[in-house]
């Protein structure tokens, strides 16, 4: 390709990217850059001759090949000047500081960030299959990407402890977290031999998180390692002993271990604490209404709640729930 043709194709690509960029402006949560350009026309608040702005020239597609001269080069640009890049390719020293994005762009970024409304409720199911139509790929792609980003906005994600509101449908991202599919499949598959020996139904470990009001951190239990509510209850007691003993202490009990153990049992099995779980629909229910097999099929999370907090919870028609407010042995 001759230099002139190259320039022509460069400019035409650049101008078409600018068109797309205009469409996407609203969705750009940083306002700094967008898909096909280095933040040129998106920086709508800046004057054209502001040197800090990366000009359109920087968005032209040129190759940093040795010897090639882009006619549109502007060495005063504080950005990706192609000429500078050519030299750099020949003399790969430390990247020169002037080429690095100046701080003014950071201000722009934060300014735009503040302007964005929270759209935290919308979490799209983010898979590659969503990108249906080639023409719409550009818009959809960046929208989806930015929506995911907005859903987990910097610093705004609600990470409150023991949040009782059901989490929004989680964004299913292909290949994330980066765990080998072999590993994922293996941990989930049936272990045929050990099932026959142990008599346990179903597949591999089923970990659910257990939180307790007032406890500093969560634990995890493998529901498949128990065969009934009693075993689960005993295991949880063991796990959370330290916390409840602490509670006993503050409410005036003495320090003797035996007394505290009894107190613990009362706390878990009796009035003060109840065990609740979050089911597949995101509802919080009292543990104990269903048979064990059904329970492990629907339980997503466990929480040991204070009895008074659990009054509003019901698994089923209220009378049954009231009767079953204690954990079953």
Partner 1 sequence: MDLRLPSKVLEHILSFVDSNEDRNSVSLVCKSWFETERRTRKRVIVRNCYAVTPEAVARRFPEMRSLTLKGKPHFADYNLVPDGWGGYAWPWIEAMAEKCPSLEELRLKRMVVTDECLEKIAASFKDFKVLVLTSCEGFSTDGLAAIAVACSNLRELELRECIVEDLGGDWLSYFPETLTSLVSLDFSCLDSEVKLSDLERLVSRSPNLKSLKLNRAVSLDALGSLLRLAPQLVELGTGSFSDKLDQEAVSKLSQAFSEMKELKSLSGLWDVLPEYIPLLYSVCPGLTSLNLSYATVQMPDLLELLTRCSNLQKLWVMDLIEDKGLEVVASSCKELRELRVFPSGAEGLNDTNVAMTEQGLVSVSEGCPNLESVLYFCVQFTNAAMVTIARNRPNLKCFRLCVMEPFAPDHKTQKPLDEGFKAIVERCKDLQRLSVSGLLTDKAFEYIGTHGKKLRMLSIAFAGDSDLMLHHLLSGCESLNKLEIRDCPFGDTALVANAAKLETMRSLWMSSCCVSFGACKLLSQKMPKLNVEVIDEHPLETRPDSSPVERIYIYRTLAGPRLDMPEFVWTIQKNPEIGVSHLAIK
Window 192-251: residues binding partner 1 (CB under 8 A): 192-194, 197-198, 204-205, 207, 209, 211, 215-220, 222
Count the alpha carbons within 13 Å of 210 in the hemisphere toward its beta carbon. Answer: 19
Among 2, 75, 159, 250, binds partner 1 (CB under 8 A): 159
Q: Does 91 bind partner 1 (CB under 8 A)?
A: no
In sequence order, the 6+-apart residues with CB closer than 8 A to the CB of 296 are 202, 206, 223, 224
In sequence order, the 6+-apart residues with CB closer than 8 A to the CB of 232 are 221, 223, 226
Long-range contacts of 193-200 (CB under 8 A, 24+ apart): 200/224, 200/227
Pick 16 or 44: Cβ nearer partner 1: 16
- Triad 41, 63, 10: Cα angle to 5°: 50
Q: Does 67 bind partner 1 (CB under 8 A)?
A: no
Question: How is residue 129 written in tokens?
Answer: 């299959």
Q: Does 328 bind partner 1 (CB under 8 A)?
A: no
Look at the alpha carbons of 147, 153, 154, 159 in this order and tell me if their dihedral is positive or negative: negative
Segment 277-296, which members bind partner 1 (CB under 8 A)?
A: none
Which of 290, 284, 288 has the alpha carbon at shortest distance from 311? 284
Segment 16-35, which members bind partner 1 (CB under 8 A)?
A: 16-17, 19-20, 30, 32-35
Q: Does 75 bind partner 1 (CB under 8 A)?
A: no
Pick 94 or 117: Cβ nearer partner 1: 94
Among 4, 48, 91, 94, binds partner 1 (CB under 8 A): 94
Segment 43-62, which members bind partner 1 (CB under 8 A)?
A: 58-59, 61-62
Q: Rounded to whole angstroms, how far apart are CA atoms 329 and 229?
A: 6
Question: How is residue 255 written in tokens?
Answer: 């320090």
Q: Does 80 bind partner 1 (CB under 8 A)?
A: yes
Look at the alpha carbons of 65, 67, 72, 76 in this order and tell me if their dihedral is positive or negative: positive
Name 230's bridge partners.
none
Segment 111-150, which members bind partner 1 (CB under 8 A)?
A: 128, 131, 133-135, 137-138, 141-142, 145, 148-149
Stretch touching partner 1 by CB under 8 A, among 158-166, 249-257, 285-293, 321-329: 158-166
Taking the complex as a whole, the smallest distance from the CB of residue 252 to partner 1 amounts, in Å, to 27
Taking the complex as a whole, the smallest distance from the CB of residue 319 to partner 1 amounts, in Å, to 33
Among 7, 13, 234, 245, binds partner 1 (CB under 8 A): 13
Pick 137 or 322: Cβ nearer partner 1: 137
Taking the complex as a whole, the smallest distance from the CB of residue 275 to partner 1 amounts, in Å, to 18
Q: Rounded to whole angstroms, how far apart are CA atoms 150 and 147?
A: 5
Q: How many residues bind partner 1 (CB under 8 A)?
A: 92
Stretch touching partner 1 by CB under 8 A, among 76-84, 254-262, 282-290, 318-326: 76-84
Question: How is residue 107 written in tokens?
Answer: 């201000």
Run of H or E including 207? strand 207-212
Q: Does 186 bind partner 1 (CB under 8 A)?
A: yes
Pick 133 or 255: Cβ nearer partner 1: 133
Taking the complex as a whole, the smallest distance from the CB of residue 64 to partner 1 amounts, in Å, to 4
Q: Does 85 bind partner 1 (CB under 8 A)?
A: yes
C-alpha Rg value of the chain to the nearest Å: 30
Task: Please say whether the beta carbons of 40 and 53 come within 8 A.
Answer: yes
Task: Please say whether the beta carbons of 126 and 152 come within 8 A.
Answer: no
Among 8, 9, 69, 262, binds partner 1 (CB under 8 A): 9
Pick 39 or 288: Cβ nearer partner 1: 39
Question: How is residue 183 written in tokens?
Answer: 């590993």
Q: Rounded to whole angstroms, how far apart are CA atoms 145 and 69?
A: 35
């Amino acid at each position: 390709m001759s230099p002139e043709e190259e320039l022509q194709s460069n400019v035409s690509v650049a101008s078409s990217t600018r068109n797309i960029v205009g469409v996407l402006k609203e969705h750009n949560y940083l306002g700094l850059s967008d898909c096909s350009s280095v933040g040129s026309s998106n920086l709508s608040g800046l004057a054209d001759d502001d040197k800090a702005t990366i000009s359109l020239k920087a968005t032209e597609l040129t190759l940093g090949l040795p010897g090639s001269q882009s006619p549109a080069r502007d060495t005063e640009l504080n950005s990706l000047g192609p000429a500078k890049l050519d030299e750099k390719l020949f003399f790969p020293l430390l990247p020169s500081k002037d080429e690095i994005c100046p701080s003014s762009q950071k201000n722009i970024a934060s300014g735009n960030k503040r302007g964005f409304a929270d759209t935290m409720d919308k979490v799209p199911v983010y898979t590659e299959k969503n990108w249906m139509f080639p023409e719409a790929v550009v818009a959809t792609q960046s929208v989806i990407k930015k929506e995911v980003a907005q859903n987990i906005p910097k610093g705004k994600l609600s990470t409150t402890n023991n949040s009782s509101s059901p989490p929004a449908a989680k964004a299913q991202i292909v290949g994330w977290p980066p765990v080998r599919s072999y590993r994922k499949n293996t941990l989930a598959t049936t272990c045929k031999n050990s099932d026959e020996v142990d008599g346990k139904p179903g597949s591999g470990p089923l970990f659910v998180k257990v939180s307790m009001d007032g406890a500093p951190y969560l634990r995890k239990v493998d529901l498949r390692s128990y065969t009934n509510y009693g075993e689960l209850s005993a295991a949880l007691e063991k796990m959370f002993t330290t916390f409840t003993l602490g509670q006993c202490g503050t409410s005036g009990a003495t320090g003797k271990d035996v007394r505290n153990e009894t107190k613990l049992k009362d706390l878990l099995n009796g009035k003060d604490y109840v065990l609740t779980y979050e089911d597949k629909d995101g509802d919080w229910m009292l543990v104990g209404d269903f048979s064990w097999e059904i329970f492990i099929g629907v339980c997503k999370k466990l929480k040991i709640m204070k009895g008074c907090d659990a009054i509003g919870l019901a698994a089923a028609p209220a009378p049954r729930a009231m009767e079953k407010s204690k954990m079953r042995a």
